[in-house]
């Protein structure tokens, strides 16, 4: 079947455990996946590395990428640009790697509009109470920050139906396995295997 990579976009509530989930997935299947790295105009924080957390670029460079249609999607938050460079994603997919994009909902929907074959995954804890527990349990956030994250979750939950699949992150390992299966079976989609189908049709006719 198709050797070409799948583009999977992962979104979900802050506190749903997306980060850990994706780290585990990539560790377990190193050669299969590539994590897309975003470009941003914000300043690097301590410990962040160019090309690992983000590609740190200037406002001028970012705006040139916009003009050259070099971004799959981009958005502006609190005065900084964030976007997904197209070339890396397409290169990895051509090389047969499945590319995972962790972006927020508006970006995810834009990607789906532009590339309808994109797999949209929404990660959620098993319940709202559990989301609250996890946010509180971190112990690093003020109650005000927790309130604002929960408020944001209410807004984000309105878009869950627009995703293809919902992943409930209850047991981490089970969730990693489901995510892997979900992405891998997409290689069997009829729509992603038009060339293969044409080939067997041709072969059958010439028997």
Least distance (Å) between residue 168 CB and its own copies: 6
Give backbone dihedrals phi and psi of 203, rounded to 5 degrees, phi first.
-60, -45
User: Which tokens belong to 15?
Assistant: 């506190």
List the x/- string, 6-45, binding to its own copies by CB under 8 A: ----------------------------------------
Site for its own copies in 72-131 (CB under 8 A): 122, 124, 127-129, 131
Least distance (Å) between residue 22 CB and its own copies: 17
User: Which tokens belong to 75?
Assistant: 């958005």
Torsion of CA 120, 124, 128, 134, to 10 degrees: -140
Q: Which of 154, 171, 172, 174 binds its own copies (CB under 8 A)?
A: 154
Nearer to its own copies, 104 or 164 (CB): 164
Q: Which of 166, 171, 172, 195 binds its own copies (CB under 8 A)?
A: 166
179 exposure class (CB count in 10 Å sphere: 0-12, 13-18, 19+): buried
Collect all residues with Cβ–Cβ distance below 8 Å to 60 and sequence separation of at least 6.
none
CA-based nearest residue to 28, from 185, 175, 134: 175
Least distance (Å) between residue 152 CB and its own copies: 10
DSSP-derived 3-state class of residue 131: helix
Cβ atoms 96, 4 nearer than 8 A: yes
Site for its own copies in 188-207 (CB under 8 A): 188-191, 193-194, 196-197, 200-201, 203-207
Residues in the chain: 207
Q: By CB under 8 A, how many residues form the interface with its own copies?
A: 42
Least distance (Å) between residue 174 CB and its own copies: 12
Separation CA 159–CA 155 (nearest Å): 8
46 belongs to the binding site for its own copies (CB under 8 A):
no
Contact residues: its own copies, CB under 8 A: 1, 122, 124, 127-129, 131-132, 150, 153-154, 157-158, 160-168, 178, 181-182, 184-185, 188-191, 193-194, 196-197, 200-201, 203-207
């Amino acid at each position: 079947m198709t050797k070409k990579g799948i583009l999977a976009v992962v979104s979900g509530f802050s506190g749903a455990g997306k980060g850990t989930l994706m780290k585990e997935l990539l560790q377990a299947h190193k050669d299969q996946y590539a994590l897309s790295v975003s470009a941003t105009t914000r300043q690097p924080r301590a410990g962040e590395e160019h090309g690992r957390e983000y590609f740190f670029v200037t406002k001028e460079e970012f705006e040139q990428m916009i003009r050259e249609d070099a971004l799959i999607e981009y958005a502006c938050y609190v005065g900084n640009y964030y976007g997904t460079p197209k070339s890396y994603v397409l290169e990895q997919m051509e090389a047969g790697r499945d590319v995972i994009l962790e972006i927020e909902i508006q970006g995810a929907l834009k990607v789906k509009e532009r590339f309808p074959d994109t797999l949209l995954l929404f990660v959620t804890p098993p319940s709202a109470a559990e989301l609250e527990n996890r946010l509180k349990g971190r112990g690093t956030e003020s109650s005000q920050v927790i309130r604002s994250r929960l408020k944001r979750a209410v807004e984000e939950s309105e878009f869950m139906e627009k995703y293809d699949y919902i992943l409930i992150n209850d047991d981490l390992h089970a969730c990693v396995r489901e995510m892997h299966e979900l992405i891998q079976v997409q290689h069997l989609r009829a729509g992603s295997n038009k060339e293969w189908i044409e080939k067997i049709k041709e072969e059958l006719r010439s028997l």
